[in-house]
Amino acid sequence: MEPGKISERQLAFLITAMLVNTVIFLMPQLGARAVEQDAWLTALLGSVWGIFMVLVIIALARRFPGHTPIEYLPLILGKPLGKILGTIYVFWFLSVGAVIVFEFTSFLKITIMPKTPLAVFMVTIMVLVYYALRSGLESWARVNEILLFVVLVAIAAVIILPYNNLDFSRLLPLAEHPPGLLISTSIVSGSWRGEVILAGMLIPALASDRHTSRNLVLVVLLVGFLLAAMEVSTTAAFGAIPTGQKEFPFFSLARMISIAKIFDRLEVLIVIALVLGTFFKICVFLYCSVLGTAQIFGFKKFQFLLLPLTILMIALALNSFKGMPELTDFATNVWPGYALLSFELVIPLLLYLIVILRSRRVRKS
Amino acid sequence: MNRVVFIFLLVVLSALHCGCWDRVEIDDLELVIGDAHDLADYAGKTGVQTTFQIANPQAMISSQGAMSGGRGGGEGGGSGSGTFFVVSERGESIRDSVAKMNYRIPKQLFLGHERVAIFGEKAARSGLTPFFDRLTRSRESRDTKFIAVSKGNASRILEQESPVSQSTAQALNTIFENKDGWQGILAVNMADFLYRLGTGVTSPVAPLVEVVPQTSMTSKEKKEGLSNTVALTGLAVFDTHGRLVDTFNERETMGLMWVINRVKNRALTIPHVAEGKAEPVSLDLTKAKGKIKVDIEDNGLPVFEIKMQTEFDLLEHFSKHREMIDVGLIAELEKTASTQVINEIEAVLKKSQMLGTDVFGFGEEVRRQHRRNWPQYKEHWRDVFPIVNVAIQCETRIHNRELSVEPPGSRTEGEWR
Amino acid sequence: MLHFLRSINSKARKIESSGPKEVPPPHDFKEISSNLADNEADLRQEFTNISDIVFKQFYAGGVKILAVWFDGLINNRVSQDVFRALMLDIPEKQLLEIAKEERTGLINQHILPFYETQEVKDLAEIKRWILRSKMILLVDGCSSGLMIDAESRPQRSISEPVVEPTVLGPHDGFIENIGVNTALIRSRLGDAMLQSEDYIIGRRTNTQVTLMYVADIANPKIIEEVRKRLTRIDIDGILDSSYIKELIQDRTLTVFPLMKSTERPDAAAADLLEGRFALVVDGSPQVLTAPSVFIEFMQATDDYYMSPTVVWFIRVLRYLSIFVATNLPGIYVGLITFHQEMIPIPLVFTIAGTREVVPFPAIVDALFLLIVFEILWESSIRLPRVVGAAINIVGALILGEAAVQSSLVSPTLVIVIAVSAVANFALGSRYDLAQAVRVIRLAILIAGGMMGFYGIALVSLFFLLHMANLRSFGVPYFEPLAPLIAKELKDSVYRAPLWSFKKRPVLIVGKDITRVDTPPPSPPDERCTAGADSKRRLQKGGK
Residue that is last in its domain, among B248, B269, B294: B248
Q: Are residues C162 and C287 in the same domain?
A: yes
Share of chain A above pLDDT 90, in %: 38
pLDDT at C26 over 70: no
Q: Confirm whether C480 is domain-assigned.
A: no
Whether C430 is in a domain gets the answer yes
Give the best residue of A5, A105, A268 to mutate against chain C (max C CB count within 10 A). A268
Report CB contact under 8 Å: C468, A276: no
Q: B211 and B258 in one domain? A: no
Check whether residue B95 and residue B82 sit in a common domain: yes
Is C247 found in the same domain as C134?
no
One domain for residues B219 and B271: no
Confidence of residue B351 (pLDDT cuts 50, 70, 90): very high
Find chains touching chain A: ≥3 CB pairs under 8 Å: B, C
Say whether both C324 and C370 belong to one domain: yes
Instruction: Find the domain containing B380 and state its range.
Output: 250-417
Any domain includes A3 = no
The mean pLDDT value for B14-33 works out to: 77
Residue C536, pLDDT > 60, answer no
The answer on C467 and C342 residing in a single domain is yes
Same domain, B197 and B280: no
B191 contacts chain A (CB < 8 A) = yes
Q: Is residue C288 part of a domain?
A: yes
Which residue of A142, A261, A269 is in closest CB contact with C478? A142
User: Does the beta-carbon distance from B194 to A256 stay under 8 Å?
Assistant: no
What is the 3-class SS of chain A, one letter each residue?
Answer: CCCCCECHHHHHHHHHHHHHHHHHHHHHHHHHHHHHHHHHHHHHHHHHHHHHHHHHHHHHHHHCCCCCHHHHHHHHHCHHHHHHHHHHHHHHHHHHHHHHHHHHHHHHHHHCCCCCCHHHHHHHHHHHHHHHHHCCHHHHHHHHHHHHHHHHHHHHHHHHHHHHHCCHHHHCCCCCCCHHHHHHHHHHHHHHHHHHHHHHHHHHHECCCCCHHHHHHHHHHHHHHHHHHHHHHHHHHHCHHHHHHCCCHHHHHHCCCEECCCEECCHHHHHHHHHHHHHHHHHHHHHHHHHHHHHHHCCCCCHHHHHHHHHHHHHHHHHHCCCHHHHHHHHHHHHHHHHHHHHHCHHHHHHHHHHHHHHHHHHHC
pLDDT score, position A2 = 54
Whether A2 is covered by a domain: the verdict is no
Residue where a domain stops, chosen among B194, B217, B248: B248
pLDDT band with cut points at 50, 70 and 90 for residue B90? very high
CATH number at B301 reads 3.30.300.210
- Residue B110 has its nearest CB partner, among C337, C340, C451, at C340
* C397 lies in the same domain as C428: yes
Nearest Cβ partner of C484 from A136, A145, A265? Answer: A145
CB contact under 8 A, B24 and C350: no
Structural domain that includes position A236: 8-364
Contacts of A131 in chain C (CB under 8 A): 462, 465
Domain co-membership, C342 together with C455? yes
A23, A227 Cβ separation under 8 angstroms: yes
Q: Which domain holds residue C226?
A: 1-18+156-292
Strand partners, A121: none
**C436 and C467: one domain?**
yes
Q: What angle do CA C105, C110, C114 make, to 5 degrees?
A: 95
Statement to judge: residues C133 and C160 lie in one domain:
no
Both C2 and C59 in a single domain?
A: no
How far apart CA C259 and CA C247 sit, in angstroms, is: 11
Min CA distance, B177 vs chain C (Å)? 14
Do residues B305 and B390 both lie within one domain? Answer: yes
pLDDT of residue B60: 77
Whether C468 and C422 share a structural domain: yes
Domain boundary among B193, B226, B248: B248
Contacts of C481 in chain A (CB under 8 A): 145-146
Task: Tell me the CATH number at A334.
Answer: 1.20.1740.10
- The answer to whether residues B166 and B302 belong to one domain is no
For testing contact with chain A, the best of B133, B195, B371 (most A CBs within 10 A): B195
Per-residue pLDDT of C163-176, as tens digits, reads 787 888 888 899 98
Q: Which of A114, A242, A256 sits opposite B195 (nearest CB)?
A: A242
Task: Kindly report the nearest CA distance between residue A165 and chain B, in angstroms.
Answer: 9
Same domain, C366 and C341: yes
Residue B202 falls inside a structural domain? yes
Number of structural domains in chain C:
3
Q: Are residues B242 and B358 in the same domain?
A: no
On whether both B222 and B308 belong to a single domain, the answer is no
- What is the domain count for chain A? 1
C362/B57 Cβ within 8 A: no
Does the residue C530 lie in any domain?
no
> Residues of C with CB below 8 A from A129's CB?
none
Enumerate the residues of chain B whose CB falls inside 8 A of the CB of residue C451.
15, 20
- Total domains in the fold of chain B: 2
Please tell me which chains touch C, using 3 or more CB pairs under 8 Å as the contact test. A, B
The answer to whether residue C541 is domain-embedded is: no
Closest CA to C82 of C131, C43, C137: C137
pLDDT per residue over B207-254, tens digit each?
999 998 887 777 877 777 667 888 999 999 999 999 999 999 999 999
Interface of C with A in 400-459 (CB under 8 A): 451-458
- Please say which residue of C118, C148, C178 terminates a domain: C148
- B279 and B229 share one domain: no
- A134 inside 8 A of chain B by CB: no
Same domain, residue pair C345 and C197: no
Same domain, B173 and B301: no
Query: pLDDT-derived band of residue C498, with 50, 70 and 90 as boundaries?
Result: low
User: C18 pLDDT exceeds 50?
Assistant: no
In a domain, B322, yes or no: yes
pLDDT exceeds cutoff 90 at A126: yes
Label residue A293 by pLDDT band (50, 70, 90): very high
ipTM: 0.91
Same-domain pairing of B244 and B283? no
Q: What is the pLDDT of residue A77?
A: 85
User: Quick check: is A22 in a domain?
Assistant: yes
Tell me the nearest-neighbour CA distance from A339 into chain C, angstroms.
30
Asked whether the predicted pLDDT for residue C95 surpasses 90, the reply is no
Asked whether residue A1 is assigned to any structural domain, the reply reads no
Q: Are residues B181 and B256 in the same domain?
A: no
pLDDT exceeds 80 at position C483: no
Query: Is residue B127, in this structure, part of any structural domain at all?
Result: yes
Tell me which chain C residues have a C-beta less than 8 angstroms from the C-beta of A125.
458
Query: Which pLDDT tens digit goes with each residue over C330-376?
Result: 999 999 999 998 888 888 888 998 888 888 888 888 998 898 888 88
Q: Which chains touch B (3 or more CB pairs under 8 A)?
A: A, C
Residue C348 lies in a domain: yes
Mean of the pLDDT values across residues B255-278? 87
